[in-house]
Structure 1
Amino acid sequence: MLTAAQALAFLATAIMLTATPGPDNLMVLSMGMSRGRRAGMAFGLGCALGCLSHTLLAVVGVSALVAASPVAFTALKAAGGAYLLWMGVQAWRHAGAVRVGGEALAETPLRQLFVKGLVANAINPKVVLFFLSFLPQFVVAQQGQVAWQLGLLGVLFTAQAAVLFGLLGYFSGGIGAWLNRRPSLGKLLDRLAGTVFIGLGVRMITTR
């Protein structure tokens, strides 16, 4: 089990890192602003729960294999970047087609947005490497059960990410609701959101 000091130190660091602007934050913010607060929260929750897959990889040691294999890392990075590019293209294709709030949101089920967030995070190779390097720093080997400690730390990270991303999706959705009364601005925001996804995808593919 984790000690209170161990858990608090990890949680404080995790919150600071999660709150720092990064790709996940931008994706949740963009989704919430372009599709509404419920969509932003669903997508954010998916992103947060995607961390559980990285926790599992860290526990069983697969992350170490990915980090040590240039071929595996390149393939995973390419897959993640291609997925973000696809999301960006779809946002451009359907710009302005879905309004924030009302029946229009039925065209994009919350479950589908949740899955998109889950996949976007789960296939991000940088998050794999982050968990591989971050979680072990808070493991106390003398306490034993290293795998169990890693698992608990990963769950704790996921929980705080779910709260922070949920709040981000909620408040960004308020902006989207305001823009819903301005169709031209809503269409522009859809395209801006698509540009963010495309930019992140290109960066993931090209950055070494």
Structure 2
Amino acid sequence: MIAAALAFAAAAMIINVAPGLDTFLVLRTSIAQGRRCGMAAALGILTGCVLWGLATAAGLTALLTASHVAYDVVRICGAAYLVWLGATALWHARKKKPSEDVRPEPVVAEGRLAAFRAGVGTNLLNPKAGVFYMSLIPQFMPHGAPVFGTTVLFTAIDVVELAVWYWIVSGAAAALGERLRRPSVRRRLEQVSGVAFIGFAAGLLADRP
């Protein structure tokens, strides 16, 4: 079991650090709103990962590949949510600031809550996240090992790795964000983020199980 867990941890780490929607969300949120909001988004993503892992342990994620309808429903809802995030970012980018030298307002609890919701939404409405657990975990499961317990163990390993990775990403991004406090730069970031979210939505719509 130890050898299988180590092999899974190595494979999951390679996948986790690859650029993707979840990492982009943590990066963008940390730059624009600070590290606390970035970590709130990361916590939302990790919550989604835990739920996907538990669903995989219970055999529910098999429905995503067994049923094209179920996969398409999650996929289309996820794409719609990403379009909404992108449109919201582009709308915020249109807002005029009274002065280019005005510093942004401090991050409030509502900002962290919104970031957490965004993390949960982007993860749970992405069927690829469920397919990831369902397709990767069985490859490393030792023969005769309990399916539920081993799946939960591997999910926990993945979540811990992601937590460390997002902690590093949010810290670096927040430090960069301190140098990008001019409203004009923040508007440009929102524009880029809006286009990126819509691009992720297009990629999700083009995906097939």
Query: For residue 155 of structure 1, what is the aligned residue in structure 2?
Result: 156
Q: What is the number of equivalent residue pairs in this alignment?
A: 204
Query: For residue 121 of structure 2, what is the aligned residue in structure 1?
Result: 119
Map residues 1-208 of structure 1 onto 2, 5 A cutoff.
Answer: 3-95=1-93, 103-106=105-108, 108-142=110-144, 144-180=145-181, 182-208=182-208
Q: Which amino acid aligns with 2:31?
A: M
Q: CA RMSD in A?
A: 2.2
Task: Write the distance in 2 (CA, Å) between the matches of 1:79 and 1:63.
Answer: 16
* Per-residue CA distance 1:126-181 (angstroms, 9 max, x = gap): 11111110011111132x3211101111111111111101211221111112111x
Task: Determine if contact 1:34/1:193 at 8 Å carries over to the other structure.
Answer: no
1:198–1:126 Cα change, 3 Å: same
Q: What's the TM-score, normalizing by structure 1?
A: 0.89
Identical pairs, percent: 33
Answer with 67-76 or 162-171: which moved more. 162-171
More helix per residue:
1
Task: Write the distance in 2 (CA, Å) between the matches of 1:53 and 1:34.
Answer: 28
Task: Write the distance in 1 (CA, Å) between the matches of 2:127 and 2:106.
Answer: 34
Task: Write the distance in 2 (CA, Å) between the matches of 1:188 and 1:103.
Answer: 18
* Per-residue CA distance 1:34-83 (angstroms, 9 max, x = gap): 22222222212221221111111111111111211111111110011111
Task: Determine if contact 1:31/1:40 at 8 Å carries over to the other structure.
Answer: yes
> Where has structure 1 moved over 4 Å in runs of 4 or more?
none
Task: Write the distance in 2 (CA, Å) between the matches of 1:4 and 1:12.
Answer: 12
Structure 1 unaligned spans of 5+: none
Task: Write the distance in 2 (CA, Å) between the matches of 1:109 and 1:186.
Answer: 16
Task: Write the distance in 2 (CA, Å) between the matches of 1:88 and 1:110.
Answer: 18
Q: Which amino acid aligns with 2:29?
A: M
Task: Write the distance in 2 (CA, Å) between the matches of 1:36 and 1:28.
Answer: 10
Task: Write the distance in 2 (CA, Å) between the matches of 1:21 and 1:108.
Answer: 27
Structure 2 unaligned spans of 5+: 98-102
Q: Which amino acid aligns with 1:206?
A: A
Q: What's the TM-score, normalizing by structure 2?
A: 0.89
Q: Which amino acid aligns with 1:117?
A: G
Query: Aligned to 1:155, what secondary structure does the other structure show?
Result: helix
